[in-house]
Amino acid sequence: LYQQVYAQSEIHFDQHRARFFDALFCDATQPGFLFVFRAQQRIVGWKLCYVHGDKLIDKYVGFAYPEARRYGLFFVSWAECIDYALRHGLQHYISGWTDAEVKAYLGAQFTMTRHAVYLRNPLLRFGLRHLAYKFESDSRWANVDTPSRST
């Protein structure tokens, strides 16, 4: 199911294989836990989450398509995670930065990205200073002014 999410996503991080998740799910020392979503006796989705301090961190997800879309599993899984966080007195739910427009529609608040990169070459540093906003895609869709850049 993770591979199905990976295949349909425009943004890619590391591509993990089944043996990675087998090892993760079977390791009793891992503090994570699974949300499992079923429809008609079949698993159609899962989320692997971790609690860190007062935060619920949504780390990995797997969905079966097209069933996940049919059942609105993105929204349902998000709501389940928020419900879990509230029931356990957690203050924050961290779900990552992909699909930000959908998350904004669902009421999420965001911390915008600001990259901390220092180029040693002064010419490159000068030239790229004016292009930094192009690497901060979250501020573009959210109509947030790019912070002023000072050296």
Where are the CATH 3.40.630.30 domain residues in the chain? Answer: 2-111
List Cβ neighbours of 132 (8 Å cut-off, separation of 6 or more): 115, 146, 149
List Cβ neighbours of 21 (8 Å cut-off, separation of 6 or more): 2, 60
**Residues 89, 5: Cα–Cα separation, whole Å:** 30
| 2-111 CATH | 3.40.630.30
**Residues 71, 124: Cα–Cα separation, whole Å:** 49
Residues 94-107 have pLDDT tens digits of 876 555 665 666 66
Q: In the chain, pLDDT over 70 holds for what percent of residues? A: 62
Half-sphere exposure of 63 (CA within 13 A, CB side): 19
Average pLDDT, the chain: 75
Residues 105-140 have pLDDT tens digits of 666 666 665 656 677 888 888 877 777 666 665 555
**Mean pLDDT (whole number) for 22-32:** 78
Residue 3 vs residue 68, higher pLDDT: 68
**Mean pLDDT (whole number) for 46-52:** 89
Inform me whether the pLDDT recorded for 150 exceeds 50: no
24-28, 81-85, 117-121, 138-142, range with the lowest pLDDT = 138-142
Q: Where are the beta strands (DSSP E) in 1-145?
A: 33-39, 42-52, 55-63, 92-94
Peptide bond into 66 cis (omega under 30): yes
